[in-house]
Structure 1
Amino acid sequence: MTEPLPHPQLLLAIAALRDRALAADSLNALGFSIANDPYPLLQYHQALVFQQQGQSLELLCVSGLARPSEDSPYLVWLQRAVRWIATQLDDDQPRWLGRDALTPPADIAEGWAEWWPKGLWCIPLHDRDGQRLGLVLFLLDAAPAPALQPLFEGLWRTWAHCWASFARQRRLLRWRPGKRQLLLALAVAVALLLVPVRQTALAPAEIVSREAMIISSPIDGVIQSMQVRPNQPVEKDTPLFSLDETTLNSRAEVLGKEVAVADAELMAASQRAFDNPQSKSELTLLHGRVQQRRAELAAVKAQLQRTQVRAPRAGVAVYSDPNDWLGKPVSTGERILLIAEPKQPAMLIQLPVADAIALEPGAEVTLFLTAYPLTPLKGKVLETSYQAQANEEGVVAYRLLASIDGQPEHARLGLHGTARLYGERVVLGYYLLRRPFAALRAWSGL
């Protein structure tokens, strides 16, 4: 007795599923077709497609979902469940797993009862070498009809064939060089490491004046007013700042009265000396006291004349902010501002100790100003400090002064930028590994 032939519509539906699988242009598109297209034939609750990644299975697609949320409780449990299901499949043939016929672990059985129906139709997908590519799970209430399972064999083998072609393309993209190619690449790398290059270092820099005069406080006092603005051009004898004269005026007034008293006492003693010879001995003492008071008064008046500080030469007044100085007590010799010559600019470079290279006077320098990055300044190192000191940012650095070639208009005092310093020629390997070698030697002590 011959078996009845399958219905033509069923054959056409399976052929259409195979055509869709063959038309997939990527592994993700194939997984989407596997998870969603067979629904009219199987009427499953859900379809899950997993990709074999080494010893684990990674969820590739879920029917009805564009992109599953990996942190949901269901998918967290699913990762444990699929590892157990993979142990139940011994070969490459589809298998029906019924919940009542199995004894899964307690946590998997609890999740199965909550999220899954009574059974799973598991279809493992293998390549020609027998290596598992993926796993397809159809969640069903009952096993597929016996007449349907043989027809699905050609479909899932088509899935496996398409999957293997995508996996082969991925392996081709992961090109692995041969031994000869590795040796050639190593030889090229060694040759590149021996290429001579110019050793360079980067450091923050500022444009300063080579001819700058420090203006300090002539006496102890309090700043009353700043009479020039920052970066203001000044001429010789231009008032720069003044100190408060209140204390000195009071002191001068008191000393003036003390001088008058001392003069009166000296005059009275001189008149008594005509009648009283004993008063002559007081004349020397009183005369010395008068001279002392006059000297003190002259000193105070001299200080009053120095409360107004003037520019000793023409230039530009360089300091931060007038509000930082108004009302501030200062001592004799304390630096207040600079009088700089703008026509003689130079680069003041702070080279960190960690980036220091061997430099000699005359080494080339290129300064890239932040305000003018497309017009760098060229120059040469004029002087270097042999002792590193902490700068305002707390970085221990060497102080270098470099010239500026020509008379560029944008080389204005106070502009900041990054200076590139050029040292001696070294091989590229030393250039790249200098700091790692220094750190390794400091750590190892070798």
Structure 2
Amino acid sequence: MNAAVTPPRDKRAERMALLLQLERRVRGEADLSGLGFLLVNDSRQLFDYQEALLWQAGGAGVSHCSGLSQVEANAPFVLWLGRLCEHWQTQPWAGETRVLSSADAPAQERSQWPEYLAAQLLWLPLRRRDGQWLGALLFSCQRAPGTAELALLQLLQDASAHAWAGLQGSRRKPLLQRLCHRPRKAVLAIVAALLVLALLPVRQSVLAPGEIVAREPAVLRAPLQAVVERILVQPNQAIRQGEPLVQLDRRELDSRLESARQTLTAAEAQLRQARQQALFDERAKAQLAELQTRRDQARADVDYLEGNLERSLMLAPRDGVAIFDDPSDWIGRPVSLGERIMQVADPHDARLEVQLPVADAIALAPGAQVRLFLNSQPGSPLLATLQRHGYRATPGSDGTMAYRLQAAFSEDDARLRVGLKGTAKLYGERTLLFNYLLRRPLAAARVYLGW
């Protein structure tokens, strides 16, 4: 009986099937956010790129990036690429598919190209049928796409522009139709009600991630330059004052101490011999001061190395819990003098630390009210009072720029434990509802118009 022969796979047919499936998903997206996420992530099925980005025209900037759920609008890379896209939009070839390089960037922006992008950047403009700009799909890659790949990407480009234009039109048209069919008095009543609501005073508030941290931790720093041999405790383990925590490698110190002790023994022997000869030899008597200095220096070296050997075993400075990362990350790791290895803190003597994103920053004065909704118990918030506000933004754990705020809890609570995380709600001054709702649009307009 003859075995069945599997027909050879047609790669062109497979790519076309992937394109049709991707185009169907593009046209089925319900909003622009989902459409952008789909374009920068799932388009890899058609073309192997290093990074994909979606730029929106009209000042919106880079809105989507492959591998990220949210793009930080104030990041240096996002601002830099936004300036390049606005520049390319004005070029005569802007409406065509084009492979760009650093030579196509303005002279003052070329130095940053190798830091942010690959050698080549594929430009796929997205426009309406009437020529109005929607944005552009960008692929950072090391090689230019082939003829077949470019043809598939151009088909995806047309489908994406059509779906984008349809989503924008479907979002505006029903509202215009409703306004046109409403009576004039009803429209005036709605406008008057909105004006009254806009003048209502409300209290500003903002949400930001918060974490309970130790208020006054004892920092355990390396007393000398050495290699960590063992971590004698586990993270969050309860410890007592004087309990061994870290053992540094002492083999080099033992060798140096043995050598220093031998040097001390030799110096003492020479000094004794010179003292005996000094009774009869004036020349030996003149060497006594120098030999005694050598003996004292050798003894000081021995005392110093013995002290370092004692410090190689690091002890707990107070009662509490050990706060540090995975012990396996420290074993065999060289540490410099003064480098922090761990913290020892009272788990119930805690304060609140909040990372307030730059885009959500509002005016907050010391003493402002703060509520912490723990992830484990979101229904019963903890009350705190703002104590300190960072004067400048720093990168957070997720890469976004944020201000560091510290708050003290208003009362003792059994739930206060170092390491718990949640969402902090900060309350600012009172303002009009109009200002509260349009705070971000007004801030963007101020930057754009230069108020």
Q: 1:235 aligns with which of 234, 237, 240?
A: 240
**Alpha carbons 2:348, 2:418 under 8 Å: kept:** no
> Once the 2 structures are TM-superposed, how far is the Cα of residue 185 of structure 1 from its aligned partner?
0.6
Which digits, 9 at most, give the CA deviation of each residue in 1:340-376, with x for residues without a partner? 1122222111112221111111111111222222222
1:258 aligns to 2:263 (yes or no): yes
Q: Which runs of 5+ in 2 are unaligned?
A: 1-176
> Once the 2 structures are TM-superposed, how far is the Cα of residue 237 of structure 1 from its aligned partner?
1.1
Equivalents in 2 of 1:335, 1:223: separation in Å? 12
Q: Aligned runs of 1:235-384 on 2, under 5 Å?
A: 235-384=240-389
Which digits, 9 at most, give the CA deviation of each residue in 1:136-165, with x for residues without a partner? xxxxxxxxxxxxxxxxxxxxxxxxxxxxxx
**Given residue 268 of structure 2, which amino acid in structure 1 is its aligned partner?**
D
Equivalents in 2 of 1:205, 1:283: separation in Å? 68
1:388 aligns to 2:389 (yes or no): no
Which digits, 9 at most, give the CA deviation of each residue in 1:247-267, with x for residues without a partner? 111110000001111112212
**Given residue 262 of structure 1, which amino acid in structure 2 is its aligned partner?**
A
Equivalents in 1 of 2:278, 2:243: separation in Å? 54
1:176 aligns to 2:181 (yes or no): yes
Residue aligning to 1:441: 446
Secondary structure of 1:275 counterpart: coil
Secondary structure of 2:295 counterpart: helix
Q: 2:405 aligns with which of 385, 400, 403?
A: 400
**Given residue 182 of structure 2, which amino acid in structure 1 is its aligned partner?**
P
> Once the 2 structures are TM-superposed, how far is the Cα of residue 276 of structure 1 from its aligned partner?
2.1
> Once the 2 structures are TM-superposed, how far is the Cα of residue 174 of structure 1 from its aligned partner?
9.8
Q: Which moved more, 1:311-320 or 1:393-402?
A: 393-402
Equivalents in 2 of 1:282, 1:407: separation in Å? 71
Greater CA radius of gyration, 1 or 2? 1
> Once the 2 structures are TM-superposed, how far is the Cα of residue 275 of structure 1 from its aligned partner?
2.8
> Once the 2 structures are TM-superposed, how far is the Cα of residue 330 of structure 1 from its aligned partner?
0.8
Equivalents in 2 of 1:175, 1:278: separation in Å? 118
Q: Aligned runs of 1:9-408 on 2, under 5 Å?
A: 176-408=181-413
Q: How many residues align?
A: 275
Which digits, 9 at most, give the CA deviation of each residue in 1:9-55, with x for residues without a partner? xxxxxxxxxxxxxxxxxxxxxxxxxxxxxxxxxxxxxxxxxxxxxxx
Secondary structure of 1:185 counterpart: helix
> Once the 2 structures are TM-superposed, how far is the Cα of residue 173 of structure 1 from its aligned partner?
9.7
Residue aligning to 1:422: 427
Equivalents in 2 of 1:362, 1:173: separation in Å? 47
Q: Which moved more, 1:418-427 or 1:346-355?
A: 346-355
Q: Which moved more, 1:367-376 or 1:342-351?
A: 367-376
> Once the 2 structures are TM-superposed, how far is the Cα of residue 429 of structure 1 from its aligned partner?
0.7
> Once the 2 structures are TM-superposed, how far is the Cα of residue 311 of structure 1 from its aligned partner?
1.3
Equivalents in 2 of 1:302, 1:354: separation in Å? 52
Identity of paired residues, percent?
42
Q: Which moved more, 1:202-211 or 1:405-414?
A: 405-414
Residue aligning to 1:154: none
**Alpha carbons 2:374, 2:423 under 8 Å: kept:** yes
> Once the 2 structures are TM-superposed, how far is the Cα of residue 268 of structure 1 from its aligned partner?
2.0
Equivalents in 2 of 1:360, 1:194: separation in Å? 24
> Once the 2 structures are TM-superposed, how far is the Cα of residue 444 of structure 1 from its aligned partner?
2.0
Residue aligning to 2:108: none
1:413 aligns to 2:418 (yes or no): yes
Equivalents in 1 of 2:178, 2:195: separation in Å? 27
Which digits, 9 at most, give the CA deviation of each residue in 1:183-241, with x for residues without a partner? 11111111111111110111111111212121111111111111111111112112111
Q: Which runs of 5+ in 1 are unaligned?
A: 1-171
User: Where has structure 1 moved over 6 Å in runs of 4 or more?
Assistant: 172-175
TM-score by length of 2: 0.59
Equivalents in 2 of 1:278, 1:237: separation in Å? 53
> Once the 2 structures are TM-superposed, how far is the Cα of residue 390 of structure 1 from its aligned partner?
2.3
TM-score by length of 1: 0.59
> Once the 2 structures are TM-superposed, how far is the Cα of residue 297 of structure 1 from its aligned partner?
0.7
> Once the 2 structures are TM-superposed, how far is the Cα of residue 274 of structure 1 from its aligned partner?
2.5
Report the CA distance shift for 1:276/1:174 in structure 2 as closer, same or farther (over 3 A).
closer
Q: Which moved more, 1:259-268 or 1:423-432?
A: 259-268
**Given residue 294 of structure 1, which amino acid in structure 2 is its aligned partner?**
R
Which digits, 9 at most, give the CA deviation of each residue in 1:379-402, with x for residues without a partner? 111222223222333322221111
**Given residue 207 of structure 1, which amino acid in structure 2 is its aligned partner?**
I
Equivalents in 2 of 1:254, 1:431: separation in Å? 73
Equivalents in 2 of 1:283, 1:308: separation in Å? 39
> Once the 2 structures are TM-superposed, how far is the Cα of residue 175 of structure 1 from its aligned partner?
8.5
**Alpha carbons 2:348, 2:417 under 8 Å: kept:** no
Equivalents in 2 of 1:244, 1:296: separation in Å? 19
Equivalents in 1 of 2:181, 2:346: separation in Å? 65
Which digits, 9 at most, give the CA deviation of each residue in 1:258-302, with x for residues without a partner? 111111221222222223211111111111111101101100001
**Given residue 299 of structure 2, which amino acid in structure 1 is its aligned partner?**
R
